[in-house]
Amino acid sequence: MTTNTRISIPFIIRGEVIDDPAVEFSPRDGESFFTPNLDLDRLVWSRTEPLPMAEVPVAEIIEVLAATGERMRDDTGGFLAAALESLSRTSPYERRILENSYESLWQSFQPDYLRATVDGELGGSEAIDGWRRNEGVDGRGGYVRAYPTRLVHILAGNSPGVAAYTVVKGALTKGVNLLKMPSNDLLTATAVLRCLSAAAPEHPVTRSFSAAYWRGGDESVESVLFRPLFFDKLVAWGGEAAIRTAVQYIGPGFELIAFDPKNSISMIGREVFDSEAMLLEAADLGARDATSHNQEACTSSRFQFIEGSVDCVDRYCEMLQVELGRERKSASAVVPRPPVELRDEVEAMRHMDPMFRVFGDADGRGLVVRSSEPVGFFPSNKTVNVVMVPALSEAVRYVNGSTQTVGIYPPYRKVELRDRLASAGVQRIVNLGGGGGAGMIGLAHDGFFPMHRFVRWVNDED
């Protein structure tokens, strides 16, 4: 909430709202904000006491989350509206994009979604609700349980959905969860948790979550919290700097689960030139993938590899550049101009025909650079590098373990490419235009099943 013109950021401590603006933070970009004092003792759960959700059935947890989703959908307590009002003053996204994101947050709390998530990631609720019997081939067997753990989450702020995602996964795996809020989204996590508290006051699910803020990398905080004395796992989202900071605390008994920085690409077959309608469709879909959250998302396509002659590819580039400038649900029509270094590189390329051709201007409305090899800079701020290849299989050599999503057009060409892409390190293959979505329910994220790693798998052997 705001106090006059001051932005006050509440904490949630085990379901309790702490709204006492005592500490001022002044970021380099954006307005100052105030938070309560950070009480480290209250941010940890004693290891001598059972975890609140450990023996709560998954079915009951789903009921609580579903009730939370209903409150979020209707915004019964006005928590999302209040968060949105303050977030619009501190977020790099325009208000319309934030509103669109907030309107869909509740969908992750639908019962069918939650049940499918448990089935897809944990094989059902049996192993997390109790001890599941596994029979051995030699007559000996045993039991296994997915036991809940203590997790601290470093959230990313490039999408409000990250907070909702974390609450859902954390609740379904029955652990206790400390959410470290990012400076570019200080409101969503607490708004979601306030809806949870309103839906189920004092419930074990509610008491299993805390959300607080401290400056990332603050050794006086992180050297205390990031230890196996208090937590089992560190779930880190964010850029390279955040992940490198987190890694220094990892050791025996304290595991890192990293949603580390990723890049995404598109692969477009020569079939796209069979008709003007197909070309226009591909340009629209390619722009959708490139501009998700103003090209800040890991799923944003920055390099698009395409088969075709120079004239044909240039035609695609022309259409793509126009489509990049359109306003979309999660993208602004105009974004901040690209960094000076990128603009200088592009301007130099304008004079290097036929190796390069540049479409558009570096004005935040969409810029396309056509080349025969990937450019040496990192495309951002609605900048896309379209790379000509004789065959899509040739583009595989530019893929590695940091390549998250590959969007392919036409869709049937995924079959010929998916094994090679998987071998090269790709983690997600979609139809062109499907990159910006949250992914299918129950499938892997960044190459692993997060809920499978949120728990500790414990054996009771015969």
Does a structural domain hold residue 386?
yes
Please give the structure tokens belonging to residue 56.
């709560």
Say whether both 303 and 217 belong to one domain. Answer: no
Say whether both 309 and 346 belong to one domain. Answer: yes
| 136-145 pLDDT tens trace | 888 788 999 9
Say whether both 255 and 267 belong to one domain. Answer: no
Closest C-alpha among 42, 252, 55, 46 to residue 148: 55
CATH number at residue 373: 3.40.309.10
Say whether both 241 and 267 belong to one domain. Answer: no
Say whether both 256 and 269 belong to one domain. Answer: no
CA distance 398 to 400: 7
Say whether both 160 and 229 belong to one domain. Answer: yes
Which pLDDT value is given to residue 2? Answer: 43
CATH number at residue 67: 3.40.605.10
Helices (H) and strands (E) in the chain, counts: 15, 21
Does a structural domain hold residue 439?
no
Does a structural domain hold residue 438?
no
Tell me the pTM.
0.90
Which pLDDT value is given to residue 27? Answer: 74
* Adjacency order of strands within the sheet including 403-409: 357-359, 367-371, 383-389, 301-307, 263-268, 403-409, 428-431
**Positions of the chain with pLDDT under 70:** 1-5, 28-30, 437-440
Say whether both 411 and 350 belong to one domain. Answer: yes
Say whether both 243 and 278 belong to one domain. Answer: no
Which pLDDT value is given to residue 317? Answer: 97
Which pLDDT value is given to residue 202? Answer: 94
Which pLDDT value is given to residue 3? Answer: 43
- Domain residues for the domain of 220 are 2-260+446-461
Say whether both 425 and 367 belong to one domain. Answer: yes
Which pLDDT value is given to residue 222? Answer: 93
CA distance 451 to 29: 35
Domain count across the chain = 2
